[in-house]
Amino acid sequence: MSLSRSESRQKEKAQRDNRRRRAFSLSLIAAGSIILLTGVGITVNQTGLTDWFGGGAKSGSGQTADGSNRNDADAGGAGSIAVTETPDAGEATPAPEPTDNGDASPPSSMPEEEPVDGEAEERVSLSFVGDMLPGEYIADIMAQNGYDFPYQKALLYLSEPDLMVGNLELPITTRGTPVEGTPYVYKGSPETLPAMRDAGFDVMSLANNHALDQGLEGMRDTMKHLTDAGIGFMGVGENDKEAFAPLIRETKGVKVAFIGVSEVIPFAGMKADSNVPGIAETYETTRAVASIKSATDEADIVVVMVHWGEDGKDTPENYQKNMARAYIDAGADLVIGSHPHVLQGFERYKGKWIAYSLGNFVYASNPSGAHGETGVLDAVCGPEGDCELKFNPMQVIQSQPTPLEGDLAVALLSRLSSISIGAEVRSDGSIVQQ
């Protein structure tokens, strides 16, 4: 599977962060110098400036006045104007980029990454959305406005994380034979994928009840087109070994494993088995648990994407709770649900987070009521799998997930808090255990 485009996008993000850090560092140094020199009321010549900033120490020595080392991510000493680019691995959290109005703190969808034990611990940002249906109900809108149209209002939230993940709710194919005996059968064009990739999406789960809407031919085409677009996938395969295999992505030196499973499969013959192509199922947890345990040996963080629940119901069924806890007991660090087409709440179990359903994201043009409530879930995670969560509330308007502000945002977050289990969703979107 080609990773070149995804890896290139990660490199571009890192380079952008480095540029932000350098510009902000120079601004701070210049401002600090003016303040210090103004405060002491002196005129400093070149020799005096050298003495002021370190008693003749070499520029870029990286040492404090007492000789101790600075953070490795700082390439220059306190008096150094030349700031070299930091390495991608082990970077400290980037400084905010100044906005057009001079404010050095642009809006960010991510929870703040805090240092651990006095040092900047490497943490990765993962973001998730619910069901993605780039076709069918919004095909005409995309044909008129472009395939990137659904992502335009939410682009900041999609392009910012290290890894952006969703649930692809339809086959991507120009061929296939529509399955019979189910009420809804979908199909999407391969032309939709470049816009999805360029919006920021890195990974798609295919473990859902629509993966075989166009038969095995449609499933295989989907796998091929995603690969060609540089988008990773999991949850289907030529046999159960492939379908349950984790997709592993590495970012900032941290390996993240994604496992896709579905408790909603129209026909038993669609379940992947030994020498049988199809979908990774979780009607019971044996094979999912085995996959999770295996993934813990390969990755630092394990994410389970699961398709489950009752359509239109905003609270999880008991079996969802039991399965989620079984996944975490097996080693999962995050459990992210889809299928009900509405938002469900959150739960923290043994220090790990469960998002029972993230609702619809790119799905219909103007879904009504709870079906139009959506958002982007951010998780900033350490290599030990400890994650901080934040939900960015949105409403789908003309097929575009549109960020909510003010009272509308607070109202949606408050409702999510009321349906969560032992967890509170605060007015800023942060999710904490009660």
The answer to which of 89-98, 188-197, 336-345, 386-395 has the lowest mean pLDDT is 89-98
- pLDDT tens for each residue of 275-305: 999 999 999 999 999 999 999 999 999 999 9
pTM: 0.76
Residue 230 banded pLDDT, cuts 50, 70, 90: very high
Supply the CATH classification number for the domain 124-433: 3.60.21.10
What the block records as the tokens of 57 is: 């120490």
- Segment 169-208, tens digit of pLDDT: 999 999 999 999 999 999 999 999 999 999 999 999 999 9
Q: Residue type for 79, please?
A: G
Q: Kindly give the interhelix angle for 286-296 and 318-330, rounded to the nearest 10 degrees.
A: 30
Residue 90 in this model has a pLDDT that exceeds 60: no
For residues 304 and 327, is the Cβ–Cβ distance under 8 A? yes
Tell the residue number behind the tokens 């709870």, with chain if given: 370
> In the predicted model, is pLDDT for residue 106 greater than 50?
no
Per-domain residue ranges of the chain? 1-88, 124-433
For residue 161, the Cα-to-chain-centroid distance in whole angstroms is 5
